């Protein structure tokens, strides 16, 4: 089974909400594999708009024809260039890698991103390469200036010819094509990229079972676009970053995003905490305030309710037991009553018998007298 190494790249997005980007993540796999040997995915902002499977470019998520977004010849040229670039890099890095421990490299990836700033002003273009799951080099092009960083042990003599060819092709051809394609996609997908979904914000305080304190968690979910500013305040002052956990931007199944930030507080904490959220869909900043004292009151109320419930159930159990025992008592009382009645009947019979005997004795005495 082939081992596929996924390259995760965190891009620094522009602070302006009006900026947009087009990215292309390509993958080249050496040896036998069940996956395409060479493939790439094209993404507009965070929307997948196309996929290339080594043979054909397949549009994704489009509701209209997008054949005019990018020239088919450009797709072929870009695909061929990236494929043979992978082949050259594979030979170069395999040679360098074999000098170390001889392990083969199986997966190579390249991420290309170009951006469009406010008022359709072209921004920078970034190219990141990776081999075996680790970034090997990075190139940034902006305002006709190149910045190149390499993290592998390759001599300048070996690298320079490839780098010069690389710079020329990107400056003359690939950078303009990327910017033009980005503009065309923005026209076709403007309803998607311009939609605004408001975040649902919850500020929750939950008791921590591991300590006597509690955890404050602010969750913003269901928002789009992905740019959001979520800040925790303590008495109107920002909480230090090292005290906060979370803060990662995560996708939801419906294409929106979520972000959560949490903070641990002690039981004696009497500060007032606020979760503040700003987003493109909100006209004003959204603030939710939580006082820790109020949470302690809630805990006390919950404890009181629990005690009352225990008492109610206890009394109910006692009453139930008493009722289940009552029929036995009734039966015992009835038996006792019956016994008393029988004794009374026996006594009366004895009295009657005694009376009859006395009468007979008196009659016999009278007869003797006569």
Q: Tell me, yes or no, if the pTM score tops 0.75.
A: no
Residue of 170, 164, 228, 189 lying closest to 24 (CA atoms): 170
Residue identified by tokens 């390259």 is 7
Residue 243, both tokens: 């005290």
Q: How crowded is the C-beta side of 364, counted as CA atoms within 13 Å?
A: 6
pLDDT tens digit sequence for 245-298 = 999 999 998 889 999 999 999 988 889 999 999 999 999 999 999 876 555 555
Q: How far apart are CA 73 and CA 220, in angstroms?
A: 44
Task: Give the per-residue pLDDT at 234.
Answer: 94
Q: How far apart are CA 299 and CA 196, in angstroms?
A: 38
Q: How far apart are CA 194 and CA 189, in angstroms?
A: 8
Task: Give the per-residue pLDDT at 290.
Answer: 84
Q: Angle CA(182)–CA(187)–CA(192) in degrees, nearest 5?
A: 95
Q: How far apart are CA 303 and CA 301, in angstroms?
A: 5
Low-confidence stretches of the chain (pLDDT beneath 70): 1-18, 96-105, 152-159, 292-302, 325-370
Task: Give the per-residue pLDDT at 12.
Answer: 37
Residue of 81, 162, 173, 84 lying closest to 125 (CA atoms): 173
Residue 70, both tokens: 């990018």
Task: Give the per-residue pLDDT at 336.
Answer: 42
Residue of 139, 136, 127, 128 lying closest to 96 (CA atoms): 136
Task: Give the per-residue pLDDT at 322.
Answer: 80
Q: Which domains does the chain have, with CATH numbers?
A: 20-193 (3.30.500.10), 200-296 (2.60.40.10)
């Amino acid at each position: 089974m082939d081992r596929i190494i996924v390259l995760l790249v965190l891009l620094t997005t522009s602070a302006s909400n009006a900026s947009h980007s087009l990215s292309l993540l390509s993958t080249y796999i050496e040896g036998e594999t069940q996956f395409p040997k060479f493939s790439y995915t094209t993404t507009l902002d965070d929307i997948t708009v196309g996929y290339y499977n080594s043979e054909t470019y397949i549009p994704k998520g489009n509701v209209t024809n997008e054949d005019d977004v990018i020239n088919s010849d450009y797709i072929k040229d870009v695909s061929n260039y990236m494929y043979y670039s992978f082949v050259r890099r594979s030979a170069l890095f395999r040679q360098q890698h074999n000098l170390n421990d001889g392990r083969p490299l199986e997966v190579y990836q390249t991420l290309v991103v170009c951006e469009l700033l406010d008022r359709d002003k072209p921004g920078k273009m970034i190219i990141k390469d990776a081999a075996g799951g680790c970034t090997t080099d990075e190139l940034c092009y902006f305002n006709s200036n190149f910045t190149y960083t390499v993290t592998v042990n390759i001599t300048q003599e070996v690298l320079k010819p490839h780098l010069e060819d690389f710079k020329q092709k990107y400056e003359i051809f690939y950078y303009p094509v990327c910017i033009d394609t980005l503009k065309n996609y923005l026209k076709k997908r403007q309803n998607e990229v311009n939609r605004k979904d408001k975040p649902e914000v919850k500020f929750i305080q939950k008791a921590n079972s591991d300590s006597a304190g509690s955890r404050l968690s602010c969750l913003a979910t269901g928002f789009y676009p992905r740019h959001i500013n979520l800040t925790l305040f303590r008495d109107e002052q920002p909480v230090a970053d090292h005290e906060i956990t979370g803060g990662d931007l995560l996708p939801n199944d419906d294409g929106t995003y979520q972000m959560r930030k949490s903070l641990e507080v002690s039981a004696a904490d009497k500060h007032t905490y606020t979760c503040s959220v700003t987003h493109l869909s909100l006209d004003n900043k959204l603030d939710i305030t939580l006082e820790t004292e109020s949470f302690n009151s809630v805990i006390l109320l919950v404890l009181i309710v629990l005690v009352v419930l225990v008492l109610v159930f206890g009394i109910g159990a006692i009453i139930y037991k008493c009722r289940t025992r009552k029929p036995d008592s009734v039966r015992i009382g009835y038996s006792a009553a019956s016994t008393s009645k029988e004794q009374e009947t026996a006594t009366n019979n004895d009295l009657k018998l005694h009376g009859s005997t006395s009468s007979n004795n008196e009659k016999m005495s009278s007869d003797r007298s006569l």
